[in-house]
A and B are shown apart, each in its own frame.
Chain A
């Protein structure tokens, strides 16, 4: 078994070095049962994540894109074990998270955090900002004295560009951009090394997005953070990511350094995705060639046989229906795509 070999090669826990991936996902599946009838019999499975292999390097930003419902959030949440994966492995610093007991998992959680799309829904309206941040500290028993706790809260607010005086205020007193800063401060409370950013700017006004993107980049440099950055706005993802993974119906179908992916997408889905992004320049935008996909989003309950994209693909051949193409190197070792007839 490749998987156990890989785990064995990594040596005993704690022997992880920063040249190895910080996060490694292998053959990960997270399925959700679809229940029906009075007894709630499982009639089908939503294959939200359906066999994903992925490595995230220390200090990088890996962008994750794909259409709504393709499994991006579920993949992010599975890595943090906020949902229980169905099968597969997730290594964090060389340790298999999915086979960890609740004690060790709690300690590991100190190194991982999540930032959510909706800064409004994700903050408890009845708690002051100090209370929200303090709670995050308390869960991990990170501040021994009240004084330390208050100092840390002030430090967290300062990190995200808010005044420490805000600690006594409540979420409704803040604008969307400020609330997202608070959400980021909360994620930073446990002093994590890895953060899943799930659409952190999608709900914000256009004029606010750049502030938050810049803040995330600054924090990454100052605190040596590693990001999994989920978004459907490919312009934002391209700007912030070192590498980008493209998902389609539960699978990663292409992964590559950001520059390469945009310069030369290989999977037809990536190609159509990129050609669909409007560019805010009329001189360029009006002359652009578009690949307009036929058909609609495919269901993750009954994905097509073979390549899942073949029903909407403009390059599909009979072979694409017969077997599923593997994610393989298309140029150098850095650019991988799962397609028999790459662009």
Chain B
């Protein structure tokens, strides 16, 4: 068996907040293989970003990983010294965020900043690092790269800043790129450019990617596999085609039916998911989606299901685990 590039096993991450202790990531296990693109979807507060930050060990002050294992190329990241982790972040794992402005320093020229990982981790000299940054700018489609490398971040548009961040992330040739809502702050035409770039880079360099997004359309176009998160847990996992064609968790199922589609023919009412996501500081017993679920049975109120194989996916649902197909069940009502 070849080793996984990244493997999470039963990871628990807690946040200690004024409202109480929040189990932001509650028993999450998944893997990423070399070169593949894995999507993580879910609404705000579902634990997507906390999962990513746990991998990177970049949790906020209030956060702590309290259990589980995170292995990257066979090494346990939780055991690494901070300096080793720092070196890994600058070289083999890169992360880009929703708002690239917060991750670029306003007082330094962009070319100098993008060259930084090369100076620190590859001992490249200043001039050579800036020259490399210009080359990277060209690769990620920043026009007039020589001129742009001399400018400060505020002179860049949102889309260009995101390109600069991607350039910096890729400068050391990482095996894994974690992109947390990389296009959420951008216009759709610019989003299309950035997604096109990520797809191209994945193909050219074979960089494995974890793409965190709330946009199911983005997942459909980008990801080989997808994980659906709800209330700090994975509720469904599978190949993108399978999950979209035959969702095996009621949350995924109703989410796909609630969103308006550009290619929809008829203009009836949408089928919303009633209620709102649960308060993470006061999670209910049993299945966390139960109060909003139209398939719920008695058992869902008292016992929380495990993540189990149902047909081609993994799902955390008593109903589908009991052999019921959501599609035929919904026809009955």
Contact = CB atoms under 8 A, between A and B. Distances in A.
Interface of A: 67-68, 175-178, 205-211, 213-214, 217, 232, 234-236, 238-240, 262, 272-286, 288, 290, 292-293, 295-297
Given A232-B187, A281-B220, A274 B157 contact: no
B220 A282 contact: yes
A235 B262 contact: yes
B218 interface: yes
A58 B167 CA distance: 50
9 contacts: A177-B276, A206-B258, A214-B270, A234-B188, A239-B264, A279-B220, A280-B216, A285-B217, A292-B193
A64 B159 CA distance: 22
Contact of A282 (B221, B259, B270): B221
Interface string B241-281: 10011000000001110111111100101111110110000
B14 interface: no
B238 to A, nearest CB: 12
A285 B241 CA distance: 11
Interface residues of B, number: 48
A290 B188 contact: no
Nearest to B271: A210
A239 B270 contact: yes
A253 to B, nearest CB: 14
B214 A232 contact: no
Given A282-B221, A285-B221, A296-B160, A276 B192 contact: yes
Contacts of A205: 43-44, 214, 276-277
B187 A68 contact: yes
B273 A210 contact: yes
Interface in B192-231: 192-193, 195-196, 214-221
Contacts of A279: 217, 220, 261-263
Contact of B258 (A176, A210, A281, A283): A210
B217 A239 contact: no
Contact of B261 (A206, A214, A235, A283): A235
A234 B272 contact: no
Contacts of A175: 276-277
Contacts of B274: 211
The 8 closest A-B pairs by CB, nearest first: A278-B217, A210-B272, A239-B260, A276-B192, A280-B216, A205-B43, A67-B187, A210-B270
A279 B158 CA distance: 23
A214 B215 contact: no
Nearest to A282: B220
A288 B217 CA distance: 12
Contacts of B143: 295
A282 B276 contact: no
By DSSP majority rule, is chain A's interface helix, strand, loop, or mixed?
helix
A180 B191 CA distance: 27
Contacts of B190: 67, 296-297
B252 to A, nearest CB: 11
Contacts of B256: 280
Contacts of B276: 175-178, 205, 207-208
Contact of A290 (B196, B214, B240, B258): B196
Contacts of B219: 280
Contact of B196 (A209, A238, A273, A292): A292
Given A207-B255, A292-B196, A296-B160, A281 B269 contact: no
A295 B193 CA distance: 10
Interface of B: 43-44, 143, 157-160, 187-193, 195-196, 214-221, 240-241, 244-245, 254-256, 258-264, 267, 269-274, 276-277, 292
A278 B221 contact: yes
A277 B269 contact: no
Contacts of A176: 276
A279 B263 CA distance: 7
A283 B292 CA distance: 29
Contacts of A206: 43, 214-216, 255, 258-259
A112 B258 CA distance: 30
A176 B241 CA distance: 31
Output the residue of A211, A275, A280, A296 with the most chain B CB within 10 A: A280
Contacts of B195: 278
A280 B269 contact: no
Given A205-B44, A210-B272, A282-B240, A276 B189 contact: yes
Nearest to A211: B272
Nearest to B216: A280
A284 B263 contact: yes
A337 to B, nearest CB: 18
A238 B255 CA distance: 18
B165 to A, nearest CB: 16
Contacts of B44: 205
B259 A235 contact: yes
Given A235-B262, A297-B157, 18 more contacts: A177-B276, A206-B43, A206-B255, A207-B276, A209-B259, A210-B258, A210-B260, A214-B270, A236-B260, A276-B191, A283-B241, A283-B244, A285-B220, A290-B196, A292-B192, A296-B160, A297-B187, A297-B190
A280 B217 contact: yes
A217 B268 CA distance: 10
Contact of A280 (B187, B259, B277): B259
A273 B188 contact: yes
Nearest to A272: B189
B209 to A, nearest CB: 16
A274 B262 contact: yes
A206 B269 CA distance: 16
